[in-house]
Structure 1
Amino acid sequence: MVQSAIAGQPVDPEVGELRLDRAEDGLYLSATLQFVLPELAEDALYKGIPMFFVAEAQVLRDRWYWSDRQVAETTRYLRLSYQPLTRRWRLNISPVPFTNSGLGVVLGQNFDSYADALSAIQRISRWKIAERDVIESDAVHTVNFRFRLDMSQLPRPFQIGAVGRSGWNLLVSRSQRLAAETVAK
C-alpha cells in the first residue's frame, strides 16, 4: 500500500476505468489508472534517472472445451525522465523496448510538473490492442490488462538494490470480458 501524496490516505494501485471499444479496424482499450509512484522510484526520478513502465494487453477467446486461446497480444513501453537543469519532465511512449541506439518510433511529450507527467501516464486512450479480423463477433473474449514498473531497464546498481524491496513494486492489472456482438434481425 502506498501513501497518497495529496491527503496522506493509503492508495491501492488499481485500474479505475477500463473500456473496450470495437471499431471497423480493430479493438481499442481506454483506461484510467490510479496509483502513486513508489517513493524510491520518485526519488530516483528527481535525481535524473529515468523510470520505465510497461503496459500489456492480452486478448483471449473463451472456449468451453479447452483453455482459452490467445488471439492478440500487444505491449506499450513508457519512459519518464526528469531533466534537472531545465526542470522539465519528458514522457516517451514506444511500441518497442527502449534502447540506447535512439532509433525507433517514439512519441515524446514534455511537461512542466511531475503531476502533469504522472497524469499523462495514468490515462490510456484508444490504444489499439487487436485487429478486427482476430476478434470473432459471435464469440466471448477476455482482455487481460497489466501496467507495471519495468525494473529490467533500470541501471544495474538500481536493479541489484531493488531486488526483494517492496518500495519498488508497482503493478496494476484487470481483466474484462468482451461480449459477443448481437446482430439485429
Structure 2
Amino acid sequence: MSRRIKQFIFVGLMALSIFSTAVNAEGIKIKSFELEKVDNDWLLNATFQIELSPGLEDAVQKGVVLYFQTDFELTLSRWYWFDEKPSSAQRQARLSYQPLTQQYRIASEGFSFSAKTISEALQAVGSIGGWRVIDNSQLDPSKAYTASLHMALDLSKLPKPFQVNALSSREWNVSSDWFRMPFSAGGSNLIKR
C-alpha cells in the first residue's frame, strides 16, 4: 500500500473518531442509580448527565418547552411465560425558558426550580431523589429481580411542527440507554459510575 493511501486512511479515521466523539457528547447518560429502603417503601435516587445539541438549546431559548420522561421498571424473570412486572413508575420533568427573567424553569412532581444557565437547569432535570417506586409488600425476599431505569426527551409533548422535525432529525431524539441492575429486597442496591 502506498504512503499516500495510508495517510488518506489515517486522516479519514481521525475525522471519523472526532465526529463520533461529537455525536456521543450529546444525549443522556446515567451517572448513579440507587434504590434505598425507607420504612415500607423503596426510594430511587439517580443522577443523569444530559447534554443537548446547540439546536435544542436554541429552541428552548426561543420558547419551546421540553419534557423529559423517566421510566422505572422492576421485573422478575420467568422461564415459562413473559416476565412479571411487580412495579413500574413514570415521572416527567418540564424545562422552559423565561425571557423576562432570563432564567430557566424546571418543574417536576410539584417541585419547581429556577436556574440561570442551561447547564444548571439540565443538572436539576437529571437529579432524582426520594422517588417512591416500590412498595415492599410487592416483593418476595427470596426472589431476584431486575431494576431498570431510562430517561428520554418526550417527543409527543412537543408542538406539532417540532414533532415533524423530530422525526427527521437525530438531534431531537435524546435518550439514555436502559440501565439494568440486579435487585433483591434484602441486599445493597447501589450503582455508581
Q: Same fold (TM over 0.5)?
A: yes
2:155 counterpart residue number: 151
Task: Give the Å deviation of 1:150.
Answer: 0.5
Amino acid at match of 2:77: D
1:23-172 mapped onto 2 (5 Å cutoff)? 23-94=38-109, 106-172=110-176
- Structure 1 residues 150 and 11: alpha-carbon distance in aligned structure 2, compared to 1, 3 A threshold: closer
Amino acid at match of 2:48: L
1:9-28 mapped onto 2 (5 Å cutoff)? 10=25, 13-28=28-43
Q: Structure 1, residues 125-154: CA drift from partner, whole Å, max 9, x if none?
A: 121111111122221111111100001101
Task: Give the Å deviation of 1:79.
Answer: 0.5
Alignment RMSD: 2.1
List runs of 5+ in structure 1 lacking aligned partners: 95-105
TM-score (norm 2): 0.78
Greater fraction helix = 2
CA distance in 2, matches of 1:12, 1:111: 20
2:182 counterpart residue number: 177
8 Å contact 2:74–2:147 — kept in the other structure? yes
8 Å contact 1:92–1:108 — kept in the other structure? yes
1:99 counterpart residue number: none
1:98 counterpart residue number: none
TM-score (norm 1): 0.81
Aligned-residue sequence identity (percent) comes to 27
Amino acid at match of 1:114: I
Higher Rg of the two aligned structures: 2
Task: Give the Å deviation of 1:22.
Answer: 2.4
8 Å contact 2:31–2:46 — kept in the other structure? yes
SS in structure 1 of the partner of residue 57 of structure 2: helix
8 Å contact 1:28–1:126 — kept in the other structure? yes
CA distance in 2, matches of 1:52, 1:180: 32
Amino acid at match of 2:63: G
Task: Give the Å deviation of 1:12.
Answer: 6.1
Task: Give the Å deviation of 1:43.
Answer: 1.1
- Structure 1 residues 12 and 46: alpha-carbon distance in aligned structure 2, compared to 1, 3 A threshold: closer
SS in structure 2 of the partner of residue 171 of structure 1: coil
List runs of 5+ in structure 2 lacking aligned partners: 1-19, 188-193
